Structures are given as C-alpha cells and as structure tokens.
Amino acid sequence: MRNVAQILLLLVGLSSGLVGCMAPIPMAEKTAGVVLPTTPVADSNGKKAATAAVASEPSQALVVLTEAAAAVPAEVAVDEASAAAIVEPPAVQLLGYSIQVGAFSRQDNAERLAQQLSDAGCDAQAVETDAGLYRVRFGDYPSAATARAEAERLQRQDLIADFYVVAPQTAPLLRQPEPVLGLRHELVVTAQRFLGTPYRYGGMSEKNGFDCSGLTLTAYRLNGLELPRSSGEQYRVGRPVPRAQLRPGDLVFFAISGSRISHVGIYVGDGRFIHAPRRGKPVAVSRLDDSYYRKRYVGARTYL
C-alpha cells in the first residue's frame, strides 16, 4: 500500500506540473500591440519593399512570432526555406513616378522635345501611345510630390508646358493579369518597334540611334524597369539562365573580341534576338546559332 500511495502522489505531482506547463497565456499578453495581418513597408524611395508584421512593442511581437515558429514542424520549416530560395525577387527595380508631357502626331517633334529635355539632364524618351500619338516621358522620382515639383521647375524654365505625373502602377508589369508573361511580351513588342533604327555609339533613342546596351536599356525603361547603362553591368546584375531555358525578354550576351562582355541583345524566342549590331548595321533580328554569334556567346541573364 505504501508503494501504491507513493505512485499516486507521484502521478498527482506530474499532473500538476503538466497543467502548469500548459497554462494558457492570457489573450492580452499574446496579442498586445501586435497586428498579425501583413502590412506593406515602403523603403526610403517610397517604393514597396516587403511585408512585415506590425507591433507597437517589438519585444512582444518577437515573443509571439518566435513561439509560432517553434510550433512549426522541422520538415515544414525546411520546405518553406526551400520555397523562399526558389522565389527570387526581380533583379531590377521598378521605376518610380515619372513625368509625361506633350501629345504629338509626328514622332520627330516628340524626339526633338525629348532631346531638349535630355540636354537639360532629364534623360527623356519619346513614347508611342496606343492611339498613335507620341508623348515624352522622363524621371524616376520617389513620390508624386517630388515629380510635380520637378515638372513645375521645368515649366518655369519654359522647357515644358502641361504635364501629368505617371504613377509606377501604370507600367505594363503591374497592368497585366499575368505580370511576368505580360511584361515579357511587352519587352519584345517594344524592341520590335526599333527594328531598322540606325546604330549609334552611345545612342538611346529612335531618332538618334542605338548602341546595343542603349537598346536594351530603352526597351526595359519604357516598360517601367531600370537597367544599368553598359552591357557589362547589365550582365553583372542579372540572374544566370541556361540557354535551353531562355524566355522572351531575357538578355543574351557576347564577347565580340577577347573575353570581356561587349555586346547584348533581347531574346525574342525561337533562338532569335533583337540587337543593335555595330556601326553601319541597323537594329535587326539575328539567330543565336549563327556561326558568328555562336562562337562569341557568353551567357544569358534574366531580370523577371
């Protein structure tokens, strides 16, 4: 009987300990100051950067989130980490707010204004609308107020007349029901518009001509994305993509002489790419399996 009594006392003690360990945390302590739905967080440029849980007391949020993470089985945590590694962010940033001016029926008038603004340091480009008119767009501003202030400054200098501020959300990347697929199509269509444009070293416009990286930069910029200026830098910031997995809108790179990246084109599908070849040769379509380019092919990069 003495042994039975000891066992009973031991069981009672264990039961009390279990109840103590499993005692629920008061709801006020679990949720005080914590808003669990994720909320967009803006970076210093006013662009959407990430989502995060918001808490008035960071230490409380840390406790709640740490406890929740501890309850996730190890195999689930591993799967989530693998998924996070697969879903990579775009290699290039969306443009911010921009300024749009003019409504020209003649492309050369739009190009003339774009050149005047570029000479003033605005890096402007003529954009053809669906209605067949030409407008001029420039700028990459962190907010609508900043863009408006710059436009008003240019008005005071009589460089522009009426204007309106274009929000980042109007870029094709955010308009399409299938964002990446839609953007890839837009990039190819934009590049096709420039077929036949003369080559010009340092050129970045249909009127004045393109060099190879000026063409790729312009096609991306007109679709709301910003690339570096040189082919070497464009190669450096992109994510590698095997040749067998190339998709329209990816960029293909070549070392024309030596081992240094010196040429780039926009892949359009079926082994073809659009590029500004060299002096005396206008923007054209070439094939990757052409012997000249096959020997000089270095690799491809994606930004989407």
- At position 218, the amino acid (one-letter code) is T
Q: Which residues have a Cβ under 8 Å from the Cβ of 39 and sit 6 or more positions away?
A: 51, 52, 53, 54
Q: Is 21 noted as a catalytic residue in this protein?
A: no
Report phi then psi at 154, rounded to 5.
Answer: -70, -30
Contact (Cβ atoms closer than 8 angstroms) between residue 283 and residue 272: no
Q: Angle, nearest 10°, between helix axes 212-221 and 179-193? A: 130
Residue 275 among the catalytic residues: yes
Q: Which two tokens stand for residue 193?
A: 């518009």
> Which of 86, 42, 93 minimizes the C-alpha distance to 237?
93
Residue 280: partners with Cβ closer than 8 Å, 6 or more residues away: 199
Residue 122 falls in the annotated catalytic set = no
Task: Please tell me which residue in 21, 122, 185, 275 is annotated as part of the active site.
Answer: 275
Catalytic amino acids? 212, 263, 275
